[in-house]
């Protein structure tokens, strides 16, 4: 194997590996940044929903109606209407489920009263709040939740992952294409540079062999 081939065999794999690693690292950190941004955004919407429920609860206590079932039902209905107007992107939404696993408030009226206690995501809800990923009617979604103790509700702000990670998903093929094109260009440049560097060595070797 001549000097030119030896240099290529040594350096070309390192260059290609570096490019692949750079593209993968860029995608990973973009994905992480979008996750953090989405969680901050969902948390803001979730806090708005909890605030709306708190305001309705305060009205009940202000007039001493907290123990009147009809008044509580009316307050929860009013809170649900306010929460339904909170914007959570194009596809996101906010809903509430009680501690028994019955959906108490949902933008889709058909879901109200549905029992979800047997679903795995419901068993992961905690009183101290948190985040979870789950299958929402066949759609992988990211959700943040808080517990609203006065009504024993878990309030969840949900957004499909396809919307949360839409930018990162659209970036992935471009990063792949960029990596392939960059690899071809760098490989060609490396081959040309290596040939120019080794040309004097070949001439010297040819001269020594002639002597």
Closest CA to 78 of 58, 99, 102: 58
Q: Which domains does the chain have, with CATH numbers?
A: 26-166 (3.30.450.20)
* pLDDT given for residue 5 in this prediction: 62
Give the pTM.
0.69
Q: What percent of the chain has pLDDT over 90?
A: 36
Vertex 211 angle, CA 197 and 8, to 5°: 25
Q: Where do we find the tokens 């109200």?
A: 112
What is the model's pLDDT at position 128? 92
The two three-digit tokens of residue 28, written as one number:
């990973």
d(CA 69, CA 112): 18
pLDDT at 184 over 70: no
Q: Residue 199: pLDDT band by 50, 70, 90 thresholds?
A: low
What is the distance between the alpha carbons of residues 60 and 71, in angstroms, rounded to a whole number? 7
Strand blocks (E) in 80-173: 93-98, 103-105, 130-136, 139-148, 153-160
- 143: helix, strand or coil: strand
How much is the average pLDDT of 99-117?
93
């Amino acid at each position: 194997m001549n000097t030119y081939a030896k240099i290529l065999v040594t350096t070309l794999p390192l260059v290609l590996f570096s490019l692949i690693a750079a593209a993968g690292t860029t995608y990973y950190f973009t994905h992480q940044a979008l996750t953090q941004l989405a969680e901050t955004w969902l948390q803001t919407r979730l806090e708005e929903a909890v605030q709306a429920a708190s305001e309705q609860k305060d009205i009940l206590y202000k007039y001493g109606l907290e123990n009147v079932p009809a008044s509580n039902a009316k307050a929860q209905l009013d809170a649900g209407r306010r929460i339904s107007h909170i914007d959570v992107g194009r596809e996101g939404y906010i809903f509430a489920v009680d501690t028994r696993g019955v959906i108490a408030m949902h933008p889709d009226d058909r879901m109200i009263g549905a029992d979800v206690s047997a679903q795995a995501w419901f068993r992961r809800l905690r009183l101290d709040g948190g985040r979870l990923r789950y299958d929402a009617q066949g759609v992988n979604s990211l959700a943040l939740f808080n517990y609203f103790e006065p009504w024993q509700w878990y309030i969840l702000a949900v957004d499909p992952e396809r919307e949360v990670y839409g930018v990162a998903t659209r970036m992935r093929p471009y990063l792949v294409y960029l990596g392939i094109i960059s690899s071809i260009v760098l490989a060609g440049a490396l081959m040309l540079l290596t040939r120019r560097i080794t040309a004097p060595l070949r001439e010297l070797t040819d001269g020594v062999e002639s002597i």
